[in-house]
Structure 1
Amino acid sequence: MKENNHLPVFGIGPYLIGLIALISVIAIALSLKKIIPSYSTNQILMTIVGAILIVCGAIFWISAVLKSRIDDNIKNNQLVTTGIYGIVRHPIYAAFLYAITGFIFIANNVLLLILPVAYWLILTLAMIKTEEKWLVDLHGDDYLDYSKNVNRFIPKVI
């Protein structure tokens, strides 16, 4: 669980995100080559939604990594609950989930929209079994209270 008496700085994230990105690239390529069925809709709307998601992903990543300096906080065993971490518990994963979903929207194949749902499920299960378990072990009730008020990947609307 811990390296040098703190949580792993990278955890399982790079492996999951790499696999998700690879699956997405393959699915989009197969869709563009018409190897898998393509069910198109309004290209302009799909492109706009995709671009917005990609920009949101970039903002989340910048806020989590550069602004919150999460790696320093992990090394110091500090639970970050402010800034972007006050909006979602796992903004780096959310950033990649949004960006990849954005590219899927831009590909304009409605059939591929099942992928972000599957990715959300995979990431949720992975977070519960790894990082969230580690955080509960390290921060106890503080993390449990935080997790009751802040969603994993999608900000609360209300």
Structure 2
Amino acid sequence: MKNEEHLPILGVGPFIIIPIILISILSLVFSYYEIIPLYQIKELNILFFLLGIILVIMGIILWLLAVVNSRISQQIINNNLVTSGVYSYVRHPIYSAFLFISTGLILISQNIALFFLPIIYWLALTIAMIKTEERWLLKKYGDEYVQYSKKVNRFIPFFN
């Protein structure tokens, strides 16, 4: 049963995404200027760079699909559980988008010493979603959200 009051439009996003993006950007800059030790596999630098660019572009597209195409802010205000469009492939596409972007930035840095960061980001996002937004969604939408979450993965599209 839907309550009249809607869920927070931004959720916990700013509290977890801003640090993740800042850490990723600083890692890229610090690697570039060799402020932190730079460990590279020179033969794979182009591959890492290209994969990083692809992930950043995928993240931007995913964000646009979630925010603009799905009109998520309006859906939240209207108390609708969005399960179509990009939300039929991933439950938290906005967080996924930033996970892709931050992972892309780490790959662009070409510093293999930083390749553990996306795993930490994924763990932090997973814990944050389970402890906050998924509880809110479960409380608000009940079995409808349970059924949806059984079919759709939390962060990585297509892998459930």
Structure 1-normalised TM-score?
0.93
Q: Given that residues 27 and 109 in structure 2 are in contact (C-alpha distance below 8 angstroms), is that contact kept between their aligned partners in structure 1?
A: no
* 2:151 aligned with 1:149: yes
Q: Find runs of 4+ consecutive structure 1 residues off by over 3 angstroms.
A: none
1:19-77 deviation per Cα after TM superposition (whole angstroms, max 9, x unaligned): 11111222223322323222212111011101110111011001000000001110011
Query: The residue matched to 2:15 in structure 1 has which SS?
Result: helix
**Structure 2: which 5+ runs fail to align?**
none
* Partner residue, 2:86: 84
Q: Distance in 2 between the 1:44 and 1:35 partners? A: 22
Identity percentage of aligned residues: 52
- Tell me how many residue pairs correspond in the alignment: 155
Give the drift of 1:157: 4.2
* 2:9 aligned with 1:9: yes
Aligned pairs (5 A) from 1:104-119: 104-119=106-121
Q: Distance in 1 between the 2:58 and 2:5 partners? A: 33
**Structure 1: which 5+ runs fail to align?**
none
* 2:38 aligned with 1:19: no
1:110-151 deviation per Cα after TM superposition (whole angstroms, max 9, x unaligned): 111111100000000000111100000000011011111111
Q: RMSD of aligned C-alpha atoms?
A: 1.4
Q: Distance in 1 between the 2:147 and 2:9 partners? A: 23
Query: The residue matched to 1:136 in structure 2 has which SS?
Result: helix
Residue 22 of structure 2 aligns to which amino acid in structure 1? L
Query: The residue matched to 2:136 in structure 1 has which SS?
Result: helix
Query: The residue matched to 1:117 in structure 2 has which SS?
Result: helix
